[in-house]
Structure 1
Amino acid sequence: MTAMSDLPLDLVEEILSRVPIISLRAVRSTCKRWNNLSKDPSLTKKYYGKEAKEAMAVMICHSKACLMNVNLHNHKDLVDSSIKQIGKLNQVKISEVYHCDGLLLCVTEKDWRLVVWNPYLGQIRWIQRPRNEFGLVVDTFAIGYDSNNNHKILKLHHPRSHEKYEIYDFKCSSWRFLGVTTDRYKCRPGVNLKGNTYLIATRSLKETTEEFLVCFGFTSETFGPRLPLPFHSVPIDDVQLSVVGEEKLAVLFHKWNIYEIGIWITTKIDHNIVSWRNFLKIEHNMPLADIYQCLYGSFFVDEKKKAAMFFYVDTKASTKYKAYVVGENGYYKEVDLRENKSWKLMCSYVPSSVQISSKVFQ
């Protein structure tokens, strides 16, 4: 009888590719060879990265950080779109989550503690809380990494904190203040792309207010120059960021007084440069009138299928939890979220083998 460790490499890879992420811990205990192979970055990218058949995302459901399989199908497909839970961080209740390089930075709901979770390796790491000058003020965070692949956490300043930024270094396991400013503009929570964090910023001039994109680089630990958005917006408009795969950024724009939504994807993006292309426009004649009043600030893009998913919560009728899949030529599809009530937030997720702690998540 052939031992598990003696099976051909291609057969082992095929077996591992069919194992759900939440079950990989059990598979790794089979033998040393399977353990090492499952953590190989090339295998991770092959089966869970760009070539993956199903996209993955993170949602907060019932105050739990959940890993989801997301299938977006346009009108050419013969199967329905779906959202399916494949993993959950059960230990604590979560209020916010930020993704970078397969790591999820989660903020707990009541005491605002920080915990980093790698669902692929089944690891967690608790992070020492930064200083909080204003008692129960909830801070905003970002997670990224520098040119040496050292991961860091940025604490964005609250408007009352006089532009004080702090950064946590995973290697040093400590917080320190940064001597950087943001040129008198305010940043909203952003997304991470290739180690850097991109944020929507607002700056008030004498008689006008402008919005733009800004990048925080974790290598230089500074903010880059103001980068243009593919439209003109003001704070009352709905402007949201999302990551497409591992190399592109998407932005959604909904003018507050117009029944129209536009989505753009970057063609080039770096610390100090960006260019955009129009990806999708949702016209006012589509049967989505309600959603324009209730955009939840979260969307997901599947560039290959030329489709996007965004979310709708009817605050007047709590029974309505829906996601809308939209595509070319006026296509739309509703996905009922009754099994995932009380959801909050959604961001794309790509697994990685980044080691964060020796403590294993149960």
Structure 2
Amino acid sequence: MSTLPQEIIIEEILKRLPVESLVKLQVVCKLWNSLLHDPCFTRSHFQQSISQKPENDYLIINDHKYGGGRCPNVLSILSRNNFSETCIDKVPYSASESSNNDINLIGSINGLVCLNCFSNYRRRFMIWNPMIHRSKKILLPKYYGRALQNCVCGFGWDSITNDYKVMIKPGDSVEVALYSCKTDCWSYKPVDCDVSWSKYDIFQFPQFPSVVVKGIPYWKYYDGTKIVNFDVTTNRFRSLVNNNTDPMGPYYNLVNIYDALARIMYSNFTNMLLYVDLYDENRGVWSKMYEIKNVVTRSIKTLMCFKYGGETVYADRENVNCYDPKSDEIKVLVDCKKEYTQGFSYTPSLLSLDGMSSTSLWI
């Protein structure tokens, strides 16, 4: 009985398998287990997977349960193939901590997830790959470790240098703190931007980005008048050019569709008509993709999209639903026992960063 050479198995078979299958196969033998920690294999596998149309599409969701700050956060992955939800990890929550203790998603890029914990006026970060259960804590300098409740945080990827970065802009500070995973250290740079900011503009931003597209985090003002991103390649804040004649109102959400920036606009809070527009960055214009009629939602914060399929996930008064623009159908995902407050497109990968170790989630 002939067997395939090991090189053929690795190059032609294992590299083409989805991440979920490889994670299960790591118990077959020591060699296959070592592949999950081999940077050459994991990079090659990732390049292979993104070069093909993904068979599945995912969202990673942070579920802030009802009942106040002492209730646990649960991070889950939602699959587009069968619209099933899988709890991938429960983030520890200490009952002894004060009620303002909170864990948030900062962003998701190439299978790596950035988490933020704010507790007792202290902020901490972690980059985590939930598929292989490995994480890296990011320690803040003492000055930035406290009194950072009112600050903008972001997670980005410099595709040129393949460097993942965490950025913080505290309060009305004139500098941005940047953490580089490659150098494993923080640097401080003056705020470089084409945005006409006053020192109070920071309070017009949400703390966390609305969406991450191609490694770049995006925010919008609470009143909807501005959309700003942070380019981690140039370390520069930038406002979007908007050449449309109709001004942007406050009632829209930023989402990632087909790995491009899009927005979901709505007419009112009672009998909603949702418009989905795609942004052309070169021309600086929004073009209409489709609309969803007669949607009654509880909270627009729940609106998000599967990156490759374009399905829109939202909550109405009874259920969490998914709208498929191709079939013009709405499917019920789960009931309203949970309140989805954060969600990002998620691409499973085996990627690991220097300094990552087996996950031990913290408070």
TM-score (norm 1): 0.73
8 Å CA contact 1:213–1:228 kept in 2: the answer is no
The residue number in structure 2 matching 1:233 is 248
Whether 2:76 is the aligned partner of 1:66: answer: yes
CA distance in 2, matches of 1:262, 1:6: 51
Q: CA deviation at 1:13?
A: 2.7
Query: Which one-letter code corresponds to 2:260 in the other structure?
Result: K
The residue number in structure 1 matching 2:96 is none
Query: Which one-letter code corresponds to 1:108 in the other structure?
Result: C
TM-score (norm 2): 0.73
Q: Cα gap change, 1:295/1:95 in structure 2, threshold over 3 Å: closer, same or farther?
A: same
Which runs of 5 or more structure 2 residues have no equivalent in the other structure?
64-71, 94-101
Q: Cα gap change, 1:28/1:105 in structure 2, threshold over 3 Å: closer, same or farther?
A: farther
Query: Which one-letter code corresponds to 2:331 in the other structure?
Result: K
Q: CA deviation at 1:63?
A: 0.8
Q: CA deviation at 1:171?
A: 2.9
Aligned residue runs from structure 1 range 22-171, under 5 A: 23=24, 26=27, 29-31=30-32, 34-35=35-36, 36=38, 39-47=41-49, 50-61=52-63, 62-71=72-81, 82-85=83-86, 87-88=88-89, 90=91, 94-108=103-117, 110=119, 112-129=123-140, 131-132=143-144, 135=147, 137=149, 139-146=151-158, 147-158=160-171, 161-171=172-182
CA distance in 2, matches of 1:27, 1:250: 43
Q: Cα gap change, 1:38/1:174 in structure 2, threshold over 3 Å: closer, same or farther?
A: closer
Which runs of 5 or more structure 1 residues have no equivalent in the other structure?
72-80, 203-208, 315-319
8 Å CA contact 2:231–2:238 kept in 1: the answer is yes
Whether 2:348 is the aligned partner of 1:351: answer: yes
8 Å CA contact 2:210–2:219 kept in 1: the answer is yes
Of 97-106 and 45-54, the range deviating more from structure 2: 45-54
The residue number in structure 2 matching 1:335 is 333
Query: Which one-letter code corresponds to 1:199 in the other structure?
Result: W
Q: Deviations over 1:221-272 (max 9, x none)?
A: 112343228653344x2x2112234x41221112346732111123x436xx
Q: RMSD across aligned C-alpha pairs, in angstroms?
A: 3.7
Q: CA deviation at 1:216?
A: 1.6
Aligned residue runs from structure 1 range 309-324, under 5 A: 309-312=312-315, 314=317, 320-324=318-322
Query: Which one-letter code corresponds to 1:250 in the other structure?
Result: A
Q: Cα gap change, 1:269/1:41 in structure 2, threshold over 3 Å: closer, same or farther?
A: farther
CA distance in 1, matches of 2:146, 2:33: 49
> Which of 294, 300, 313 is the equivalent residue of 1:295?
300
Q: CA deviation at 1:217?
A: 1.3
Whether 2:287 is the aligned partner of 1:277: answer: yes
Q: Cα gap change, 1:109/1:85 in structure 2, threshold over 3 Å: closer, same or farther?
A: farther
The percent identity for this pair of structures is 14
Q: Deviations over 1:127-170 (max 9, x none)?
A: 11354587362533111133312221111344xx3454321122
Secondary structure of the residue aligned to 1:13 is helix
Q: CA deviation at 1:31?
A: 3.5
Q: CA deviation at 1:105?
A: 0.5
> Which of 161, 165, 187 is the equivalent residue of 1:176?
187
